[in-house]
Amino acid sequence: MQTPPAAFKAFQNQIGTHSGTILKITDGTSTCLLSEMEGNLTDGHVYPLLGNYSIYQSFSIYTKQWTVSSVTLTLSNATYKQNTSGTWVRLSDQIIDIVNHTANIYYLCGGTAAALSDCLTYYTGIILEPPEYDDENIYITIHNKSLPYDKDI
């Protein structure tokens, strides 16, 4: 079990504490930080493009095996920033080569987080399939490769 960072731990049990989720995805050269809310961290600007997500993991009592956990995310595909030539771009234009790269999900607790190191690392996985997208949304699945596919209990 990991030890929460001091900035996270200071606020985790307080009622009314502002909390959120931050997704960090990379294509090997650039990194995107996405959340439900906009903000700035020393790691970069956090864009408010994170929608719904669900985490899946199961255990079969008959086969006594774990199923590899995965996270399915829905991101907004709205135009969100200008590129170097001043043209507004969508997230789907920026995350073309994310397959086989790592993605991290962090929990933010309290308004004092200045960096991702102040947040609790909740999930780390690999994007194995290309994202699906339309004009409104992007759908990404992240797989936890730290769990074996067939683990006998």
DSSP 94-110: H-TT-TT-EEEEEEEES
In this structure, which amino acid lies at residue 83? Answer: N
Alpha-helical regions (H) of 32-81: none
Pairing of strands 44-47, 31-35: parallel
The span from the CA of 93 to the CA of 79, in Å, is 10
Which H or E element spans position 86? none
In this structure, which amino acid lies at residue 69? Answer: S
Phi, psi of 62, deg, nearest 5: -80, -45
Phi, psi of 116, deg, nearest 5: -65, -25
Please report the pLDDT score of residue 150 as a whole number: 46
Q: Which residues contact 118 (CB under 8 A, 6 or more apart)?
A: 5, 6, 7, 8, 108, 112
Comparing C-alpha atoms, which of 134, 114, 138 is closest to residue 43? 114
Q: Which residues of the chain have pLDDT under 50?
A: 148-153
Please report the pLDDT score of residue 68 as a whole number: 61
